[in-house]
Amino acid sequence: MTQKITAPLTVNGQRHTITAHEDTPLLWVLREHLKLTGTKYGCGVGQCGACTVHLDGKPTQSCLHAFKDIAGRRITTIEGLAPGGQHPLQKAWIAEQVPQCGYCQSGQIMRAAGLLKEKPRPSRDEIVEYMSPNICRCGTYVRIVRAIERAAKEV
Amino acid sequence: MRTDKQKFVRSPAPDTSLRVNRSRRRFMLGAGGFTFATAVGVPDLSAFAAAANQKVLNPYVTLATDGAVYIMSPAAEMGQGSLTSLPRIVADEMDADWSRVTIVPAPPNDKLYGNPLFGRLQYTAGSATVTGYFTPLRQFGAQVRYVLMENAARHWNVPISELTTAPGTVVHANSGRKLSYGDIAAFAKIPGEAPEVALEPLDRARFRLIGHDIGRIDVPLKVNGSAQYSIDVQVPGMIYGAILRQPVEGAAPERIDEAAARAIEGVMQIVPLKYGVGVLADTPWAAFKAKNALKVSWSRKATGWGHSSAKALEQFSAVARDPSRKGVAWEEKGDVHAAMKRAATVFEGEYRADYAYHAQMEPLNSVAAVSPAGDACEIWCGTQSQTIAVTAVANALGIPESRVKFNGMLLGGGFGRRGNRDVEFIVDSALMSKAAGRPVKVLWTREDDVHNGRFRPLYVNRISAGMDANGQLIAWHHRVVSDRVLAFMDPVRWKVMKGRDNIAMRGTELPTYEIADRLAEGLQQDTGMRTAPLRAIGVGQNAFANEVFMDEVAAKRGIDPIQFRLQHLAKVPRARHVIEEVARMADWGRKREGRGLGIAYLDYSGTQLAGIAEVSVERASGAINVHNFWCTIDVGVPVHPDNVIAQSESSLVYGLGLALMERITIEDGVVQQSNFYDYHVPRMKDLPPIHIKLIPTPNHPTGAGQMTTPLVAPAISNAVYQLTGVRLRQQPMLSARVLQALREGTTRIS
């Protein structure tokens, strides 16, 4: 039987004190405790990437991290990616009209942001390799690639 | 009719309306720089009328004296873009200034906002939205323009024939006078009965918005995390529900051991339901844990127990081969049996498909707040039918529909999963909220979503074709054995259809191929399985059968498969055009070392399409690699061309999954898959380069949302044949099946 614990969490530069079951995935802490609902639940087992956030600056699936393991660490969600939602990727996503249902797109953008941090000028193959953990059931992949290439030119 | 109408009364300034409706959002469109507002909440028509400075012109258009134009969009937005496309049609005909348009999701009202193609049901499905609403919305727009011109004519005392319009303005060129639509709204008299306005024919219409690209209004919300799906709804006092559902439809919980579930901190209540056992908790995580800790035994009375998908394929095949088993005619032209007797040659083929799962990215969920007295309910949900949701909740709670307040949210994917008449995923939260006496969000886990999926049915298709001595097809007999779909997913429409299962059977009909005598008959089976329309509905499998069989017949005659198709499309220039153009794009005649090309053609609800796949096969593993996919599509007038392309890309990716990897299996009635680790869908690495050409023609717009999905599997199968001489006759074409087919040569595989 797991216990509820109270621990600090830094999300989008703001420090919070959260009380939750110690095994609660970060995803649900973000969504239901902090009401940061831009991070989406898709599979709960690290298979789809809809819940991708940055943990200490690196993209990761927030459904895979238990609350007790991430206390005190630095988290960035789609809401905190860039002031006013003006990250080059977000602008490129609009220019290429990427989203359809849109549900996976926070995760796609957070993952792409991780890619551009690591490799500001990724090749087509590097984009495909890096982005393949994230599922888009609407199949917007063609436009995701175009948007990443567009943003890479502007960064 | 609404319980708290005043909450939604709009004040004239959009900024103020932001404050009165907390779910309203304003945002900038990046490229165009237009400011829009969208409401993903409950707009109320009577609220418009209540404002002194606004005029309701008709159910779709309200004008404010400051020139703001409010246009209702009646369809659900699930990524297909009609939230934007439909108001564009109205705005074009009324010559509105698009920068002043606010799109307002229409409230549930079949009479005002129903799709004529669904008997005026407010139901977003079948790629029927633009095609169904196009003419009525043009008419509504044209009427608004006429009424405004008529008012201006009276105001200036000039004949209406001397007036023209520019965007948002009525112009009297002779005197150089102008009146903005907002100015006219201040004094306009609205006739009780709208005048019927003659619309310009499509080959002469000068559209200003239709046929031109625009940013979709929902896109900016979807890149910054602010788009609201029902899973995101937060209501004060809300708690969370999860439900352990019946493993087989109709099974009921018999013994419930809830001790372990109750012991979990945060669990508040266990709620026995007819179809499962619900858990209420203070967080989603506690609810999920408690649901997983429940131990429940189920009644064995349900039809689906004992069902096995592997065995059912063989049983369905036996039914398909048994001539004494007559089906229900779906399409019948002439006398297929007599024509078959006249034929010089008769061919036969059998095709199969496994169950397939929607896998919309947002697992099903909903939020409900039932009043303490149980006599009213407010719901927040993503549904393909606003009115079906209201009716289902009212029925489940035993309250009048007028006591259900509906909040339509964006859908995190639909694909047919959210339009069933019983909308079980919405009723869930109504029942749980009633039990809790407070608002409840009921969440399905991904595993719940798979285990309780409502699938594209299992199929066995058997086709016979008769050919005359000249090599022309004269008879086509298609028998479809599958689980029943319509009777399960929508008993109301099922009654109207009189035994014809349109969801299972669509796509068997051949509206364009010149084959005089045809019969498509359905032999749908009540296996007890949960089924639903799935993107491309029956067309996804029935066109696979038709188009692979077409290829087989051509090959047996030694005729090029494209020539063979064109030979049967002599009188359909639009069909010939999409085929000839895709052949040109793919350079069809050029042989590629180690690669095969395959074609598929389709008339899908009037939309003309053709696709060519270029493939190679890994002989050791049986894996099919798709290297290119070319596609042409003619939807008539494309209302939003870039969105037609986007939907075609999307549908091709969906089709790729169904063609190559997606399979649900059933044992003893129970789904064997659980999540994306054992139900694989296409990822970015699975995609070939996709080349789409939109061919605009001055015809009534037809569907775009799912049309290319059924091209993929037959094009791939036909390409594998060209390369290897082996026919793949079952979806999905899993590598193990390909391997087996390569070993066995061209014999039937399963």
Question: What is the per-residue pLDDT across B627-677, written as a single tens digit (0 to 9) for each?
Answer: 999 999 999 999 999 999 999 999 999 999 999 999 999 999 999 999 999
Q: What is the DSSP string of chain A?
A: ---EEEEEEEETTEEEEEEEETT-BHHHIIIIIS--TTS--S-SSSSS-TTEEEETTEEEEGGGSBHHHHTT-EEE-GGGSSGGG--HHHHHHHHTT--SS-TTHHHHHHHHHHHHHH-SS--HHHHHHHHTTS--TT--HHHHHHHHHHHHHH-
Q: Per-residue pLDDT for B150 more than 50? A: yes
Q: How confident is the model at residue B18 (pLDDT cuts 50, 70, 90)?
A: very low
Q: How confident is the model at residue A1 (pLDDT cuts 50, 70, 90)?
A: low
Q: Best residue in A12, A23, A43, A134 to probe B by mutation, most B CBs within 10 Å?
A: A43
Q: Which two tokens stand for residue B342?
A: 């006249």
Residues of chain B neighbouring A101 (CB-CB closer than 8 A): 78-79, 360-362, 410-414
Instruction: Write down the H helix ranges in B452-572.
Output: 486-489, 491-497, 502-505, 539-557, 561-567
> Residue B5: its pLDDT value, please?
29
* A vs B: CB pairs below 8 A: 190
Q: How confident is the model at residue B747 (pLDDT cuts 50, 70, 90)?
A: very low
Please, how many CA atoms are within 13 Å of residue B282, restricted to the half-sphere of its CB? 11
Q: Per-residue pLDDT for B573 more than 90? A: yes
> Residue B196: its pLDDT value, please?
87
Higher-confidence residue of B537 and B53: namely B537
- Mean pLDDT over residues B477-506, rounded? 97
C-alpha distance from B511 to closest chain A C-alpha (Å):
29
Contact B8, B47 (CB under 8 A): yes
Higher-confidence residue of B40 and B211: namely B211
Q: Best residue in B22, B224, B440 to probe A by mutation, most A CBs within 10 Å?
A: B224
Among residues 672-701 of chain B, which lie with CB inside 8 Å of chain A?
Answer: 675-677, 681-685, 687, 690
CA nearest to B676 within chain A:
A47
What does the DSSP 8-state code read for residue B728?
-
Q: What is the DSSP string of B652-673?
A: HHHHHHHHHT--B-EETTEE--
Compute CA distances B62 → B100, B298, B399, whole Å: 12, 54, 32
C-alpha distance from B388 to closest chain A C-alpha (Å):
21
Higher-confidence residue of B35 and A90: namely A90
What percent of chain B has a predicted confidence (pLDDT) above 90? 90
Q: Of B80, B226, B360, which has the smallest distance from its Cβ to A137's Cβ?
A: B360
- Mean pLDDT over residues B289-314, rounded? 98
Q: Is A78 on the interface with B (CB under 8 A)?
A: yes
* pLDDT tens-digit map of B398-447: 999 999 999 999 999 999 999 999 999 999 999 999 999 999 999 999 99
What does the DSSP 8-state code read for residue B486?
H
> Residue B193: its pLDDT value, please?
78
Q: Per-residue pLDDT for B463 more than 90? A: yes
For chain B, give the mean pLDDT. Answer: 92
Q: Is A99 on the interface with B (CB under 8 A)?
A: yes
Residues of chain A neighbouring B283 (CB-CB closer than 8 A): 20-21, 24, 28, 32-33
> Residue B32: its pLDDT value, please?
22
Q: Of A2, A99, A134, which has the smallest distance from its Cβ to B219's Cβ?
A: A99
CA nearest to B234 within chain A:
A35
Would the CB atoms of A44 and B221 count as touching at under 8 Å? no
Contact B127, B707 (CB under 8 A): yes
Q: Of A4, A102, A140, which has the smallest distance from its Cβ to B227's Cβ?
A: A102
Instruction: Write down the H helix ranges in B196-296.
Output: 259-262, 284-293
Q: Which two tokens stand for residue B271?
A: 């709620």
Would the CB atoms of A101 and B411 count as touching at under 8 Å? yes
Q: Of B215, B285, B412, which has the smallest distance from its Cβ to A21's Cβ?
A: B285
Would the CB atoms of B650 and A21 count as touching at under 8 Å? no
C-alpha distance from A15 to closest chain B C-alpha (Å):
20
> Residue B223: its pLDDT value, please?
98
Q: How confident is the model at residue B191 (pLDDT cuts 50, 70, 90)?
A: confident
Cα torsion through B354, A134, B381, B357, rounded to 10: 0
Q: Of A38, A97, A144, which has the smallest distance from its Cβ to B215's Cβ?
A: A97
Q: Taking each helix axis as running N to C, give the angle between helix B641-660 and helix A141-154, from 0 to 180 degrees, rounded to the nearest 10.
A: 120
Instruction: Write down the H helix ranges in B364-513.
Output: 386-397, 424-436, 446-451, 486-489, 491-497, 502-505
Q: Of B283, B642, B677, which has the smallest distance from its Cβ to A32's Cβ?
A: B283
Would the CB atoms of A85 and B224 count as touching at under 8 Å? yes
Task: Pick the range with the lowest mean pLDDT from A92-96, B8-12, B375-379.
Answer: B8-12
Would the CB atoms of B283 and A85 count as touching at under 8 Å? no
Helix (H, G, I), strand (E, B) or coil at B136: helix
C-alpha distance from B279 to closest chain A C-alpha (Å):
17
Contacts of A130 (CB under 8 A, 6+ apart): A111, A114, A115, A122
CA distance B29 to B457: 41
Compute CA distances A101 → A111, B175, B227, B328, B382, whole Å: 18, 49, 10, 37, 11
Q: Is A39 on the interface with B (CB under 8 A)?
A: yes
* pLDDT tens-digit map of B85-98: 999 999 999 999 99
Q: Of B410, B675, B684, which has the smallest distance from its Cβ to A132's Cβ?
A: B684
Q: Best residue in A23, A68, A75, A103 to probe B by mutation, most B CBs within 10 Å?
A: A103
Would the CB atoms of B283 and A20 count as touching at under 8 Å? yes
> Residue B52: its pLDDT value, please?
61
For chain A, give the mean pLDDT. Answer: 96
Q: Best residue in A1, A96, A138, A145 to probe B by mutation, most B CBs within 10 Å?
A: A138
Would the CB atoms of B81 and A78 count as touching at under 8 Å? no
Q: Per-residue pLDDT for A155 more than 90? A: no
Would the CB atoms of B219 and A25 count as touching at under 8 Å? no
CA nearest to A43 within chain B:
B446
Would the CB atoms of B362 and A140 count as touching at under 8 Å? no
